[in-house]
Chain A
Amino acid sequence: MILIDRVTKSYGKDTNPAINQVSLFIEPREFVILVGTSGAGKSTLLKLLTREEKPTSGKIVVGGIDYDTLKDSHIPMLRRKIGVVFQDFKLLPQRTVYENVAFALEIAGMTRREIRSTVPKVIELVGLAGKEKQFPNQLSGGERQRVAIARAVVRQPKILIADEPTGNLDPKHSWDIIRLLEKINKYGTTVLLTTHNAEIVNKLKRRVITLEHGKITSDQAEGSYRQ
């Protein structure tokens, strides 16, 4: 599903590469946790996957799309195939819960009928039924993250990238979000999660990839958080 082959990303000639000769392969339907200290290269790796950044060298293939041959004009199409959840939610502040989720379908050109039948189901899936007409500033942090997840999965992407989705949440809401991601993974979506939360990593017992100074230092099938 995700192939990263000897990828390096440098931001300048005189600086150490943010990602240095990283290779990894993630199978379809896997739930993978990416850990590492700040500056280890996690965010850069995710930016490479969402094509916010281009690698300095190496090859990236996601869902059969080879980034080497990907034209800039096709980047929006690629991003529609990948769901992304951010630590700071990145919701449209002037739009309701329903509109935020529907937006992901509207940009893909789906009809109003299709949107009307899909969005309520996804809002229910993330546990926000009844809050469709509320605006982001009327919701708690956990609820906002649920909206962001609903928006990310409403197009039924094969891959969901969650960049520290629990970073701004208290433990209870953090676990709600993790359970939701597990549920989404169970439905067949590959999940790539980055987190600093050792408790979550240790309890999930999923594949854990550790990044340090831009390199993979461990890749365990049922890993734990390493200090």
Chain B
Amino acid sequence: MSAKKKHIPQPFAGKKRARRFALSFLRVVRYGLESFFRNSWLSVAATAVMTITLLIIFTAFVAQNILTDTIGDLRSKVKMSIYLQTDTTDQVGADLSAELQKLSSVRTVTYISANMARTQDAINHQNDSSFLEALTAATNMYPATLSIEVNDINSTSQLQDFVDNNEMVKKYLNPSHKPSFAGDRRNTIQTIGRAVNFAQDVGIAAGSLFVFISSLIIFNTIRMAIFNRKEEIQMMKLIGADKSFIRGPFLIESIIYGFIAAIVATGLGFVAVYRSADTLTSYQISVQPTLDMLSHYSGLVLLSMIAIGAVIGIISSLLATHKYLKI
């Protein structure tokens, strides 16, 4: 017997196995497609629920992006100022800017001389003749300013060290104007910083919660759909179907739900974002970077949505069928 077995050409055995596998796979796909169309009401209901939940995921993602951009905008608008003496030269301003730029917490530095500050103020009050008259008559008392954009508005200790220890800045520091990150104004900046951080944390938490709840809703929908057909599963088991053959069509169905739902949800999501862009912008909400990102990576967004829908569907199907596939 064993001698006979040795003469079986292995490539043919392998080919036969591969052919059977391919045949089973095609049948599983066919069963999945047939079930999707023949259980039409169930398919429509499951796809609709999946569409809504994927739309929630899309919305959470877009909202998180918009929030991050808006917060970024807000952060860049909060600038720290170091006030220098009025007669500080442009050369000193440039040297101090270069020194500050070396600090890791500093993103950008702009030097505004006393003359530039006065000119700017004049422009700001160009319709106020008495103000302009007084400005022309008076000696320039404006301080020169180092306007600094930092990476994190909650972290100003490096700047404080710089002001306390740098000899050149100590020499030119304006005695009547404290830096904006010190004293009373420091509290205001820190309050803004805390609010911004809180908004970002809440955004991340809310987004994660939405995604989690959405996944649960999809899981429950698929579980209900499979529960409705548990007798079918038990029957298939009793007439000798392999677990993979029983599970396969349910997985295919779930992938189809995910595929259709992802296309619909992405379409609806894009329309909603583009239509609400003007309104959001009017509230100083930074929508444009998200719009640019969505239009630039529209294909990737769609593929990601399909992948999310399919993966959640597959995991839900695997978990739901597992219960009915024991022995």
Instruction: Give the B-binding residues of A (Cβ under 8 A).
Output: 50-52, 72, 75-80, 84, 90-95, 103-104, 106-109, 111, 151-152
Contact = CB atoms under 8 A, between A and B. Distances in A.
Contacts of A77: 240
B231 A106 contact: no
A72 B325 CA distance: 11
19 contacts: A51-B327, A75-B327, A76-B240, A76-B242, A78-B240, A80-B239, A90-B231, A91-B235, A92-B235, A92-B236, A93-B232, A94-B38, A95-B34, A104-B239, A107-B236, A107-B240, A107-B241, A109-B20, A152-B239
A94 B237 CA distance: 17
A107 B235 contact: no
Given A79-B238, A80-B240, A106 B38 contact: no
Contacts of A104: 239-240
A201 B18 CA distance: 49
B209 interface: no
A106 B290 CA distance: 50
A91 B240 CA distance: 14
Contacts of A109: 20, 23-24
Contacts of B231: 90
B234 to A, nearest CB: 8
Looking at A52, A72, A91, A106, the one whose CB has the most chain B CB atoms below 10 A away is A106
Given A109-B20, A109-B23, A109-B24, A92 B238 contact: no
Given A90-B231, A92-B232, A106-B27, A151 B39 contact: no
B105 interface: no
Interface in B209-246: 231-232, 234-243, 245
B240 A94 contact: no
Interface string B1-36: 000000000000000000010011001000000110
Nearest to B20: A109
B35 A79 contact: no
A51 to B, nearest CB: 7
Contacts of A76: 237, 240-243
B238 A52 contact: yes
B252 to A, nearest CB: 14
A107 B249 CA distance: 12
A81 B14 CA distance: 24
A50 B206 CA distance: 51
A91 B229 CA distance: 12
The winner among A84, A90, A93, A109 for most chain B CB atoms within 10 A is: A109
Nearest to A52: B327
A94 B242 contact: no
Contacts of A107: 236, 239-242, 245
A90 B238 contact: yes
A80 to B, nearest CB: 4
Counting chain A CB atoms within 10 Å of each CB, the highest count among B23, B235, B236 belongs to: B235
Given A51-B327, A107-B241, 12 more contacts: A76-B242, A78-B240, A79-B238, A80-B239, A90-B231, A90-B238, A91-B235, A92-B236, A103-B236, A103-B239, A104-B240, A111-B23
A51 B327 CA distance: 8
A94 B238 contact: no
Nearest to A92: B232
